[in-house]
């Protein structure tokens, strides 16, 4: 089948931290394409540059060298307003769930809806509750994060990341703080929702137990992305 346009197309990307004599190259000639609906897992040792690459893809850091396109839009030399626009089209899930403690589960999700769209409050509430139900938290919509387990909090973070149906979800070690079963539940929910919505996922993990949800696995080592480790799925829609 003919490939669709990639969600992410990275060519010859380099990245450096520090200035002058302290300048150090962190990413070396990264090339990576991610297609709609594809689940890509990135593994690799701590300090190898995974979070740096994710923050560049997410428009959270400026591209210094090379080309990085999100749905055909070049991020190299992009204006701040373009980066803001791109960030609205990406769902983020971090190791720490980054929920706001003074908002309930529903309000945390609802804020993402209201930031992204011109939408009535009633509709935002409806969408947020539906999304929380789809991650199995219909009984917990009015709970505050402090009164929920780690796995439940991460499921709220997933609901928040996916409620606007973004074409891309970036997840940086989303199961690192969870026990085995909660971690498994969380990635299976991400996988199901992303497939339902056609969202691509780029997920960084050290957790070998969840590699099987990937369509493709890539490995970062010392700032170099090595060839795809394996192709698990044989029925990718490309």
Judged by the rule CB under 6 A, the positions of this chain that interact with ligand ADP are 17, 26, 44, 46-52
Do strands 168-172 and 24-34 pair parallel, antiparallel, or not at all (unpaired)? unpaired
**Minimum distance from CB of 53 to ligand ADP (Å)?**
7
Give the three-state DSSP class for 40. strand
Q: Which residue is nearest to Mg ion (CB)?
A: 51
Q: Which helix (H) or strand (E) holds 132?
A: helix 121-134
DSSP letter assigned to residue 166: -
User: For ligand ADP, which is the closer residue by CB, 57 or 163?
Assistant: 57
21 binding partner (options Mg ion, ligand ADP, none; Cβ < 5 to 8 Å by kind): none
Sequence-distant (6+) residues with CB within 8 A of 102 are: 144
**Minimum distance from CB of 205 to ligand ADP (Å)?**
11
- Binding of Mg ion at residue 48 (CB under 5 A)? no
The interface with Mg ion within residues 183-222 (CB under 5 A) comprises none
- Binding of Mg ion at residue 51 (CB under 5 A)? yes
Residues 127 and 236: their CA atoms lie apart, in Å, by 29
Residues 89 and 68: their CA atoms lie apart, in Å, by 15
**Minimum distance from CB of 220 to ligand ADP (Å)?**
6
- Binding of Mg ion at residue 43 (CB under 5 A)? no
Residues 207 and 210: their CA atoms lie apart, in Å, by 6
Q: At what angle do helices 180-197 and 150-162 cross, to 10 degrees?
A: 10
**Minimum distance from CB of 2 to ligand ADP (Å)?**
34
Span near Mg ion by CB under 5 A; candidates 46-54, 86-94, 127-135, 222-230: 46-54
The site for Mg ion (CB under 5 A) is made up of: 50-51
């Amino acid at each position: 089948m003919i490939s669709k346009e990639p969600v992410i197309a990275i060519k010859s990307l380099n990245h450096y931290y520090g200035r002058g004599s302290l300048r150090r190259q962190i990413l070396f000639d990264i090339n990576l394409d991610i297609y709609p609906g594809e689940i890509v897992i990135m593994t690799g040792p701590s300090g190898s540059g995974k979070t740096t690459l994710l923050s560049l893809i997410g428009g959270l850091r400026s591209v210094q060298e090379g080309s990085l396109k999100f749905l055909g839009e070049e991020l190299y030399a992009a204006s701040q307003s373009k980066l803001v626009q791109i960030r609205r089209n990406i769902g983020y899930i971090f190791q720490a769930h980054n929920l706001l403690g003074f908002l309930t589960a529903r309000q945390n999700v609802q804020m993402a809806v209201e930031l992204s769209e011109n939408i009535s409050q009633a509709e935002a509430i409806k969408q947020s509750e539906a999304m929380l139900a789809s991650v199995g938290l219909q009984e917990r919509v009015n709970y505050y994060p402090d009164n929920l387990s780690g796995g439940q909090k991460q499921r709220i973070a997933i609901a928040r990341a996916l409620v606007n149906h973004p074409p891309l979800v970036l997840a940086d070690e989303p199961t690192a703080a969870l026990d085995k079963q909660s971690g498994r539940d969380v990635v299976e929910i991400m996988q199901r929702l992303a497939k339902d919505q056609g969202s691509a996922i780029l997920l960084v993990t050290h957790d070998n137990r969840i590699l099987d949800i990937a369509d493709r696995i890539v490995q970062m080592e010392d700032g170099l992305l090595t060839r795809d480790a394996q192709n698990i799925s044989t029925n990718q829609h490309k």
